[in-house]
Structure 1
Amino acid sequence: MLYFRDFEFNPSTSTLYRHGDVVALTETQLNLLILLLNEPEKIWSKEAILQVLWQDKDVTEQVVFQTISQLRAVLGSDAIQTFPKRGYKWQLSLTQARAQLSVNKTPIQHSGSRFWVVSALLFIFTCGIAYLGAQQSSLQKATSKYALALSPITATPHSEVESQIVQQLNEALSTQLDVELSPLKKVNTLTSRQSHTLKPHEGTRMLTVHGEITKLSMAGGVSYLLDYTLSGESRQWQSFVIADDVALLANRVHGQIERLSHSRYFELVSENQVTAELTLMNAASSDNLSIAYVLISQLIERLEYDRASTLLHQYQNQLRDKEQFHQALFNLLKGQLLYGQGQNALAVQSLNLADKQFEKLKLAGLQSETKQLLVQSLSLTEEYRILKMYLIDAAQLAKLAGRTQLELASYYQLSKLAARHQQSTDKYRYLALVSQVVTQFGLDESHLMLRDYHQAIFAKVASEKLTHLQRAILRPVSEENRWVYYAVADLASNLLITEKNWQGLVAFTAALNDDVLRAKLIAKKQVAMGSAEAWHYVERAFEVARQESNYWVSVPMALLLLKLESEQVSDHLHIYQSHIEQFASPSFKARHSQYL
């Protein structure tokens, strides 16, 4: 076996494992992996890779770039190094005796155009057979059955969808999914279209379907759009399906749910693994714009702009003139990408176009999201009055669409904007509107945690800040506001450490209802006090967080361990570095590259 990171590769069967599970790779990805592992010190040019993997097929160099990107998504972005104008080289350290992989390279003199003899063809054939075996084994793992629950699909507010259409869709989905309608409580629509981690279901593995249908009047006639969510064990899928009639819409939703339920998407925790799984799904269904949309959104959020740009170009090439909805989504994605790349002026152009397209389609929720992104892109150039107008429009559109979470997000953004422009009255006015919305719609107090956090940031006196933070940690914790809970704990612990209020820090830590977070604050206290045993507490926090797959804590604790000068820590530096490389965001790694 050949080992790198937490992967194992069996040369005799050409199978890649991770934590004992087979990693599903396409045939091309597997062949490329074998090629790189066989000569890890060699820099492979694009031409050489094309010659070996694609032989005489009529393909461009773009397929090399795409396959490299897909393999990086599985193994980690640093697994394969790019040498500009030269090629690609394996980058990860390999352990154990490396058996020669099943490829025999023999240069031949034939116009210099071929690098391999017939044994290379045999090698690719062998890899294909091994790949099929790996795929079958992986599929057996992935096809574990989920129980499906279907919450009644509803009409988007003010969407003019007839009641009989809604009824027909529910009946069609119930029949195709072979489930009865369940009167389950609808999950609040999140403010982002990315995948979101949820608390795992207890007991039965469950996938819950819920969504809203909208009627679209487009140039080609009437179409129906389903904005649906599929909630699983550890995350949820949010996407769109569009069709000209209800039967086709239900059929497309059924096909997508079938595909998702046979993947490992809902079982994964690491965002690296999720990106890899989405990449494989997209490769297997290259004509499915819904999967491509989710993958591109994921890549933009992870700051993998090169891959996102390539896939976005492919997305655009698949659009047809009549697909006005997907054209609007394309412009929204393009605006997000350009904003992430710092090209704000170009981002504004794309987002303005998306804004007009969503307005024409009467998709108030997506128009609200677009206006919020516009404010971020314009924040450095436009005056407060203009930005405020955009966000007020976003809040009103969210209210019209029945997207309460989006409305709250607009008010929070208005409050932050007012604070940045030193508009003291406005920053508190919009926080008051948050309270009104929570009360009006009977939302639980978890939605007030971010309000408390903002009030703590706005407060000028440390004691007043702590009062707001102590109120915040008593709010209910949900998966949507858990990041706020962790931010509250960090801000409060930093304030108490600055004041050397150790007793107050102990009391605050004891009030937390999260064991992992408590371990982190105890570790921070020991480090701040200069304890000789501080490394022990930090390591404990790291291990507890890692066991729980809590990367919000494990990653900063791994970094803290790298910063500590200790003989005990030095023995495990590679563990902490590898953990950060695998689970930290690209921006986090960029900020702390000196320790990696």
Structure 2
Amino acid sequence: MQYRFRDYLFDCQQYLLQQNGQVINLNEKPARLLSMFILNSGKVLSKAEILQEIWPDRVVTDQVIFQNISHLRALLGDDAIKTYSKRGYQWQLDLESVYESCDEASLYKNCATLLRFFKTSFKKYVTIVLAVFIIASGFLFPQLGDINTPTESVFKFNQAQTEAVNLDFITEKNVLVSTQSVFDSPYHSWENLTSENTELVVAIRWYPLSKGGVLRFLIQGAQRSWHDYIEAGSKESALSEMSTLLQSLGKTQYFNHKRQHLVLAELALLSEQATIGPLVARQKIQLLLASKQLRQASALVAMQLSADNSTFYKGLLLLQQARIFMDNDQWDQATESINTALSIFNDLQIEHLQARALIESSWLHFVDSAFVKAMQALNKGAAKARVAREPLTEVEAHLIQSFLASKAGREDLMQTQRSLARELLTIHQLLDVHHLELTYNKAWSASEEEDALVYYRQILDTPYSQQFEKRFYSAADFLRSSAINHRQWQLAALSVKDWQRQSYQYLGMAITAFARESFQRATEFAEMAFQQAMVNQHQVDALDAALLILRIHREAPNIKSASRYRDFISKSATNRWQSINRGILSELELGPIDLE
């Protein structure tokens, strides 16, 4: 007997699980457990019943049941199986019995039988065979006639061959790698697929809407990536605009520049091209947000929102605006932006963007001390990510749930959510580097400094990845602070790494020198950090360096232009940065700055 639930089909006799026609690998024990739940869907199954049915000849603990149920939940959704305290577990999803199967294997078998029959009775049955073939082809090759199937392609090209990037080139998949793997691991994909720094890897996917659709794209180069969307009335129009963007980018050094100010200069030139102007503006917002230049980012978002945008583009801009507000501790404004964006993506039924908006909204509930609402938003976000087949987004939702549970003192829930995330990484066979998020979650949730330090050291021992830049910098921050607190100067020096931007390296050396009361060296390093940060437009590095210089000046007055750094802080400090440094600012008599 076969049963259908959501987009899954499960054969309880063959223990075969399919999702949208694709076979999902399922080991024997989880498969038998799934069969047991489905065949007893109206019953709460006790642990004793499960053990007797699935492990009749073995002595195992209750933890084995929990692990296998966690595996099924990670695959099918948290809401698939409900736990009844001290009673057992029960299947929760609606089931539809399927009595006849029309899968590809049976179609091939039937076609083979008909062909043998065809050889013996050619004239009599030719019409029947042709009819069956036509019908079968509709099952076997649905992509030929299904206009709703998303267009997916992955290709690479050398920037020296920009003119070759036309519509035909884009639509011809010329790289043997999945689109989702590039979305999930862009820099790793680029490293594996290219041999020269001037090569770009591009992944595209088309999402049909009620009118037209949206082309999602990711471009990865040696130093940076570009991830955005193009809305158009047809695939052809979107791909044509994509071709224009690639040809324009191919003539620049945007993907090869290391320094932020050079990248922004390239974008300034590109923004003059009317056809790609809005794309360039959204990318500039992303860069400004990443470097914490929140005032400039906020102004640019407001300018774009005031323009004549489609509903979809408004949703994207509101997501960016919400992130800016959140980074500046403007929670009420962030809530308004994220709720409007979520409403837009709900109406358009774009699941992966619904998931993104729901995950962002969970932080707003957390700040508002609404733990249950935060967890509910994350559950919904994980479900949407699962439908959209975005495994990393689903993993992210579970890891945030794990963190929130740790802060709420829910150790059991923290471990459960972390286990679900680990299961998803295994099920989807994601790269080892993605397990770094699990390590970061453990460090983030650790209650003791020593425990957190172990995990942060593991992160720093991992080969650096652009994709997880924030995690690596957070680990370096924690290691340096811990080493300084324990006056372990050699360990503090080890927190400076080759992959770090130069302003951050100078800043780390300045902080360590200040802690050792080597004020002259601290001043020299801090001033170099400030200069580098200003040139490369790294706002937080510049603010941290300016604050350190003022602290050094208080201990050993030797800076002639201290007012310069005071003025910079007064003009540039964000709410979040002020909150983090409130105590030091108060000591230096630098009052709060209203950035609302």
Say whether the fold is shared (TM-score over 0.5): yes
Does the 8 Å contact 2:165/2:246 carry over to 1?
no
The residue number in structure 2 matching 1:434 is: 421
Distance 2:417 2:346 in 1: 25
Aligned mate of 1:328, from 315, 321, 325: 315
CA RMSD of aligned residues (A): 5.0
* Per-residue deviation, 1:207: 2.5
5 Å-filtered alignment, 1:349-388, equals 349-381=336-368, 383-388=370-375
Residue 333 (structure 1) shift: 4.6
Point out the structure with the larger helix share.
Answer: 2
Residue equivalent to 1:318: 308
Q: Is the 8 A contact 1:303 1:587 kept in 2?
A: no
Residue 257 of structure 1 aligns with which residue? 246
Tell me by how many angstroms 1:371 deviates. 0.7
Q: Is 1:215–2:208 an aligned residue pair?
A: yes
Query: How many Å separate the matches in 1 of 2:483 and 2:208?
Result: 54
In 2 relative to 1, CA 439–499 (structure 1 residues): closer, same or farther, beyond 3 Å? same
Q: Tell me, in whole angstroms, the C-alpha distance in 1 between the residues paired with 2:548 and 2:576.
A: 17
Amino acid at match of 1:447: H
Instruction: From the CA coordinates, give the structure whose radius of gyration is larger.
Output: 2
Q: Deviations over 1:435-484 (max 9, x none)?
A: 22333333333333343334234333343333223323222321122321
Aligned to 1:189: 183
CA displacement at 1:368 relative to structure 2? 0.8
Partner amino acid, structure 2, of 1:318 = D
Q: Which amino acid aligns with 2:203?
A: H
1:470 aligns with 2:462: no
Aligned to 2:234: 245
CA distance in 2, matches of 1:191, 1:316: 34
Q: How many residues align?
A: 425
In structure 2, what is the equivalent of residue 226 of structure 1? 215
Match for residue 6 of structure 2?
none
Partner SS for 1:189: helix
Unaligned 5+ residue runs, structure 2?
1-142, 157-163, 591-596
Output the CA distance in 2 between the equivalents of 1:242 and 1:465.
Answer: 44
Post-superposition shift, 1:385? 1.2
Shift of 1:228: 0.2
For residue 282 of structure 2, what is the aligned residue in structure 1? 293
411-420 or 519-528, which deviates more? 519-528
**Does the CA contact (< 8 Å) of 1:416 and 1:427 recur in 2?**
yes
1:256-313 alpha-carbon deviations (Å, 9 max, x no partner): 2223333453344444554555455445427854334334455566454577456545
Contact 1:269-1:549 at 8 Å conserved across structures: no
Q: Give secondary structure in 1 for the equivalent of 2:429.
A: coil
Paired letter, 1:265: Y
Structure with more contact order per residue of length (Cα contacts < 8 Å, sep ≥ 6): 1
**More displaced stretch, 516-525 vs 541-550:** 541-550
**Higher alpha-carbon deviation: 428-437 or 235-244:** 428-437
Unaligned runs of 5+ in 1: 1-156
User: What is the Cα deviation at residue 547 of structure 1?
Assistant: 13
* TM alignment of 1:378-527, pairs within 5 A: 378-381=365-368, 383-502=370-489, 505=492, 509=495, 514=499, 524-527=511-514
The CA deviation at 1:337 is: 5.7
Query: Of 539, 547, 552, which aligns to 1:564?
Result: 552
8 A contact 2:328–2:576 mirrored in 1: no
The residue identity in structure 1 corresponding to 2:215 is L
Q: Deviations over 1:394-429 (max 9, x none)?
A: 122223223233223222322332233333332333
Task: State the secondary structure of the residue aligned to 1:379.
Answer: helix
SS across alignment from 2:450: helix
Deviations 1:119-155 (A, max 9, x none): xxxxxxxxxxxxxxxxxxxxxxxxxxxxxxxxxxxxx
Q: 1:462 to 1:416 in 2, by over 3 A?
A: closer
Deviation at 1:391, TM superposition (A): 0.7
Q: Distance in 1 between matches of 2:416 and 2:364?
A: 24
- Residue 102 of structure 1 aligns with which residue? none
CA drift at 1:366: 0.5
Q: Distance in 2 between matches of 1:306 and 1:387?
A: 30
Q: Distance in 1 between matches of 2:152 and 2:499?
A: 42
> Do the aligned partners of 1:368 and 1:394 also contact (CA within 8 Å) in 2?
yes
Q: Is 2:405–2:414's contact at 8 Å kept on the other side of the alignment?
A: yes
Amino acid at match of 2:204: G
Deviation, 1:540, is 10
